[in-house]
Amino acid sequence: MGKARLQVAAAIVAMGILVVPAAASAAAAPADRAASVTGVDSLDGVTCPTAKTCVSVGLDDDLNGKSAVINAATSAVKVWSGDLPADAMNAIACPGTTSCLAVADDAVASVQVSTGAMKVTATPKKPANGIVALGAIACAGTTTCYAAGFEGTEAASTAIVVRLSPAGKLLGTDKNTGTGIGAITCPSSSLCLMGEHFTSGESVQLLNNGKFGTAHAMPASTYIQAMSCYKASLCYALGGNSTSSPAATNELFPLNPKTGAIGSMATISGFSGTDISCINASTCLISGFTGSGATAKAAVVTVVKGKPGTPVTYPGSSLSFHSLACASTSACYAVGSSSSGAIVDKITS
């Protein structure tokens, strides 16, 4: 999760740190030293619309929106020469193979897969004396995408879902009774699962054909940081307990991909998670870091059939993985930041 996404999430619910106990699962491993991405301060979201290409978005030093295209075969990174003024990008999803959609706090932009070129396509209307903050996006098939977040103020906010066409045009904005939505994933063209915060706590909120449906309450004091599904085969929510001391995002919840029902939690130790990406019907990867402060190291954990493996750390200091995605089971990329700017790292499992 990048800088801008943290600001959005913090306004919804207190964030924490994720942690995963060693299990007899396969472990992800860094393939090469992370490549620095010139002209980009941080890459905060990544997705892979084809087996050959991944697209990442983030921001530069001036908080302008930036994008980078990753060649999945060679790991070469091409940065879009332009920028979107004052629209630091938080997340990205693709309805097809040629164009993706990315969200800034109060804007939606199209992103061309071939070049990374971005163009603002929608700006949701702000409420009087308030803001719109979009921190997550997912596409339900090729016809509709949903951006999620909140509107209002941090003291009085309302959960919103913005319906978008594949071209990024605004189709409508729907409000729910929660205070904000921090994560969304769509296992099918008719169903999406969201992490929505209510005054009573966090819930897995269903979105059925764009309409709010059943909500499954998470355990007390639990928040959801990220969610991922592999088609309609499996889904997970990555979260933590807001009362933990020290704060720890150390809980992995399986979700029923058809009903959103919450399964038994697996606790993760020694690792702080930021994002999760499921790459097939049995395997997911979690990006994050081990340690804290000066001892923190970028790391990835592999989850196989619900069992988190041992965190594998990446050598180097001041590295942080914010998000990850896979073009294939053998071509996965983590993106994030370091003291010298944005980074891209190929991960092998």
Q: What is the model's pLDDT at position 139?
A: 98
Report how far Cα 258 is from the mean position of its chain's Cα atoms. Answer: 21
Are 190 and 231 in contact, with CB atoms under 8 Å apart? no
Place of tokens 């939606």: 108
Q: Where are the alpha helices (H) located in the chain, listed in sequence order? A: 3-12
Percent of the chain with pLDDT over 70: 90
* pLDDT tens readout for residues 31-81: 455 678 999 999 999 999 999 999 999 999 999 999 999 999 999 999 999
Are 185 and 193 in contact, with CB atoms under 8 Å apart? yes
Q: How confident is the model at residue 27 (pLDDT cuts 50, 70, 90)?
A: low
Q: What is the model's pLDDT at position 244?
A: 83
Q: What is the model's pLDDT at position 6?
A: 38
* pLDDT tens readout for residues 239-287: 999 998 877 788 999 999 999 999 999 998 888 899 999 999 999 999 9
Rounded mean pLDDT, 146-175:
96
- Judged against a pLDDT cut of 50, whether residue 16 lies above it is answered with no
- Judged against a pLDDT cut of 60, whether residue 18 lies above it is answered with no
Q: Decide yes or no: CATH 2.130.10.10 for domain 3-348.
A: yes
Rounded mean pLDDT, 220-237:
97
Q: What is the model's pLDDT at position 247?
A: 77
Q: What is the model's pLDDT at position 28?
A: 63
Instruction: Return the minimum-mean-pLDDT range out of 110-114, 193-197, 200-204, 337-341.
Output: 337-341
Query: What is the spatial distance between Cα 321 and Cα 314, in angstroms, rounded to a whole number?
Result: 10
Q: What is the model's pLDDT at position 113?
A: 98
Query: What is the spatial distance between Cα 235 and Cα 272, in angstroms, rounded to a whole number?
Result: 20
> What ranges do the domains of the chain cover?
3-348
- Judged against a pLDDT cut of 50, whether residue 8 lies above it is answered with no
- CA triplet 255, 302, 247: central angle to 5 degrees? 70
Helix (H, G, I), strand (E, B) or coil at 31: coil
Amino acid present at 116: G
Closest C-alpha among 43, 59, 19, 18 to residue 225? 18
Query: What is the spatial distance between Cα 53 and Cα 141, in angstroms, rounded to a whole number?
Result: 19
Closest C-alpha among 346, 340, 347, 318 to residue 38? 340
The model's pTM: 0.91
- Judged against a pLDDT cut of 70, whether residue 196 lies above it is answered with yes
Q: What is the model's pLDDT at position 31?
A: 46
Phi-psi map region of 6: left, alpha, beta (phi>0 left; psi -120 to 50 alpha): alpha
Q: How confident is the model at residue 312 (pLDDT cuts 50, 70, 90)?
A: very high
Q: What is the model's pLDDT at position 315?
A: 78
The pair of three-digit structure tokens given for residue 78, joined into one six-digit string: 């091409």
Please list, in sequence order, all residues whose beta carbon lies within 8 angstroms of the beta carbon of residue 21, skipping any fewer than 6 positions away. Answer: 267, 268, 269, 270, 308
Greatest CA span in the chain, whole angstroms? 53
Q: What is the mean pLDDT of the chain?
A: 90
Rounded mean pLDDT, 129-147:
97
- Judged against a pLDDT cut of 90, whether residue 29 lies above it is answered with no
Instruction: Return the minimum-mean-pLDDT range out of 14-23, 109-118, 259-268, 300-309.
Output: 14-23
- Judged against a pLDDT cut of 50, whether residue 146 lies above it is answered with yes
